[in-house]
Structure 1
Amino acid sequence: MAEQHTPRSLIVTLYGAYGRETAGSLAVAELIRLLAAVGVDAPSVRSSVSRLKRRGLLVPERTASGAAGYALSADARQLLDDGDRRIYPHARPRARDGWVLAVFSVPESERNKRHVLRSRLAGLGFGTAAPGVWIAPARLYDETRHTLERLQLAPYVDLFRGEHLGFAPTAEAVARWWDLTAIAKQHDEFLGLHEPALRAWEARAQTSSEVPPEEAYRDYLLALDSWRRLPYADPGLPAALLPPDWPGERSATVFHRLHARLRDAGAAFVRREPGADG
């Protein structure tokens, strides 16, 4: 299945990867240059920036040189900071680390908020234990709290931390709480798209130490844009509770090796002065 990298998603990925290194403001002209490298045209960049501004994720801010630009809002920085804890290397939780439970009740007169609440919990990687009872690994507590507070949904939810005490084995319960087949398919799709790029870069390294900045930037940004969604579909469930052929560890290894090989090399392309060669 062909992968879709939307301009809006790529802009968020760009800011997450490189836009927090300085004060964070990127000139509009630079956004257009950097997105052109991954196939996005200037009108799409401008319209996507406008939508992100309306959503409160980007705010107008002059760059150090005085050019018109955009920086991340405080909410967007919090979202990206929370995302870092999922996206970049971390130890997979153990079954004994426990769970966070979100128990919610929304009045019928506000049922639209019930839909938003379910969508956000699903987007955070929660599984459904029972109607109105959602579950995730305990390490997601802080991010869940930030998200519910930001969206003004906290009054409808109680959060708990605890352990699963039965009656079914926890691995069987996990298979009910999450659609593991669908999650495994997403890992397989990531591997099909980005494992060949890793192999190609590793083969090149056998004959040359050179890592062309624009190529590194392009392959890294596309891989990160794909990968950053996966730790939300798959919230990092304990390995002991997953099928033995689970592809998640392999896809995480592919991303982390691409990150180690390409991220810093790609930064040279991001930092390139306007008008510079290469």
Structure 2
Amino acid sequence: MKPQSMLFTIYGEYVRHYGSEIWIGSLTKLMGEFGLSEPAVRAAISRMLRQGWLESRKVGNRSFYSVSDRGKKRLEEAAARIYKVETDVWDGKWCIASYNIPEERRALRDQLRKELGWMGFGMLTTSTWISPNNLSDRVKDLTEAHEITEYVEIFTSEHMGWSNPKQLVQKCWDIDEINEKYKAFIDAYREEYEQLSAKLSNGEEVPDSHCFVEKTKLVHQYRKFLFIDPDLPQELLPELWLGKEADQLFQNYYQLLNPGAIRFFETVYEAAPSA
């Protein structure tokens, strides 16, 4: 597990619900549960500070780290997709983002592509990306933040031909590959879920530290689907779609692990003393 990626999971799953700030000692102890060393954690925190995801402050001789406004927004967007509810019936409209960014700003162009993919856009052509979800406001925020509004246009449109909607989806996303990854997730976690469920049903004691580690790993793995699953409406999904089964398994396993995981976190967590 990469330390920076795990820090996003720890902040998103726990710290943001406790004021979004935590003492570095608590953070290194939590990360240590996954075999991550203190130097590795501190190096990851430094990178996240430079990238604008975290903010720091000193209280006495102690360092506390909180999620920046930018980081909070990203974590909230991720949580909304991980713990999503059923969406409305699709209105048949497509959100389209088209850009023409000069070569001298290539780094920004590459960053824009990564961000569009994370949002759930699929690449129709090299500089034209589409989504069946209304993401126009998020694209506007993104282009304004990067100061590239003069190079980007956003549309909401109907598709008039020639592919039908499901064929269009196949052109823009590798649905088979996504299904394979969902299958791998199900295969990896179904047995673990069933074993824990049986233990709890039999009244066996499960250590809170175990629940914390397993729940955090579960969320960490499931969070990766944010980067590959475009969150398509039901009308555009194939007949064989394992995303629903994987989501149900995730929710069920999460609910079993969550109480113990929270108890363990609260024994380790230390916030900064109030002013």
State the TM-score, normalized to the length of structure 2: 0.88
Q: Does 1:41 align with 2:32?
A: no
Query: Partners in 1 of 2:204 and 2:88 — Cα distance?
Result: 36
Q: Aligned residue for 1:197?
A: 192
Q: Aligned residue for 2:251?
A: 256
The 1:193–1:93 alpha-carbon spacing in structure 2 relative to 1, beyond 3 Å, is: farther
Alignment of 1:1-278 (within 5 A): 5-62=1-58, 67-92=62-87, 94-96=89-91, 98-208=93-203, 210-272=205-267
SS at match of 1:138: coil
Q: Is the 8 A contact 2:215 2:258 kept in 1?
A: yes
How far did residue 130 of structure 1 move? 2.5
Query: Partners in 2 of 1:97 and 1:271 — Cα distance?
Result: 46
* Unaligned stretches of 5+ residues in structure 2: 270-275
Q: Is the 8 A contact 2:97 2:128 kept in 1?
A: yes
* Unaligned stretches of 5+ residues in structure 1: none
How far did residue 28 of structure 1 move? 1.0
How far did residue 26 of structure 1 move? 1.0
Q: Cα RMSD over matched residues?
A: 2.4
The 1:211–1:10 alpha-carbon spacing in structure 2 relative to 1, beyond 3 Å, is: same
Deviations 1:17-69, CA, capped at 9 Å, x for gaps: 01112222111111111111122122211111111111111111347x97322
Q: Higher relative CO (CA 8 A, sep ≥ 6), structure 1 or 2?
A: 2
The 1:150–1:222 alpha-carbon spacing in structure 2 relative to 1, beyond 3 Å, is: farther
Identity score, percent: 26
Q: Is the 8 A contact 2:108 2:146 kept in 1?
A: no
The 1:95–1:40 alpha-carbon spacing in structure 2 relative to 1, beyond 3 Å, is: same
Query: Partners in 1 of 2:190 and 2:160 — Cα distance?
Result: 39
How far did residue 194 of structure 1 move? 2.5
SS at match of 2:62: coil
How far did residue 128 of structure 1 move? 1.4
How far did residue 209 of structure 1 move? 7.2
Q: Aligned residue for 2:273?
A: none
The 1:201–1:129 alpha-carbon spacing in structure 2 relative to 1, beyond 3 Å, is: same
State the TM-score, normalized to the length of structure 1: 0.87
The 1:174–1:6 alpha-carbon spacing in structure 2 relative to 1, beyond 3 Å, is: same
The 1:239–1:24 alpha-carbon spacing in structure 2 relative to 1, beyond 3 Å, is: same
Query: Partners in 1 of 2:104 and 2:17 — Cα distance?
Result: 45
Aligned length: 270
SS at match of 2:124: strand
